[in-house]
Amino acid sequence: MRPQLLCTFTYTDKLAASLGQIYKVYSPEEISNVKCYVYVEVPTNVVCIYNVVVADRRLKDTISINRKKESNTYYSINALNSLIRVLNNGVLDKTYRIDWPQYKDTLLLSDGEFNCKMIKIKEL
């Protein structure tokens, strides 16, 4: 099975508990590459990003995401579609080329209204 990249949202004062929950839900054999990032502009907000090889369980406040390795950009598919619409005059064109270095060290999220939030992140 191909690993799935997950993103769990938490806060600095709850980080230890959140990591404990992650390791409680997934065994050491099921989880890898755990990294935590703080929001640059709101340093109390943290995301834990990790790979799992099982997709049958998910923690609260967790989404599935993707990563563009070259620019360390994390994004949901909805956020990517929203970004393309913003950059391409409202048109969703799946062949549209994103200038990924422009979104270096960024988490792209959708707000559910076809808007894309760009959150600068820094590894803890």
Answering whether pTM is above 0.75, one says yes
Number of neighbours of residue 6 by Cβ within 10 angstroms:
21
CA distance 69 to 65: 13
Note the pLDDT tens digit of each residue in 21-65.
Answer: 999 999 888 999 999 999 999 999 999 999 999 867 788 999 999
**pLDDT confidence bin for 114, thresholds 50/70/90:** confident
Task: Write down the domain spans for the chain.
Answer: 1-64, 67-119
Region 67-80 average pLDDT: 96
Q: What does the pLDDT read at residue 47?
A: 98
3-state DSSP call for residue 59? coil
Tell whether the model's pLDDT for residue 112 goes beyond 80.
no
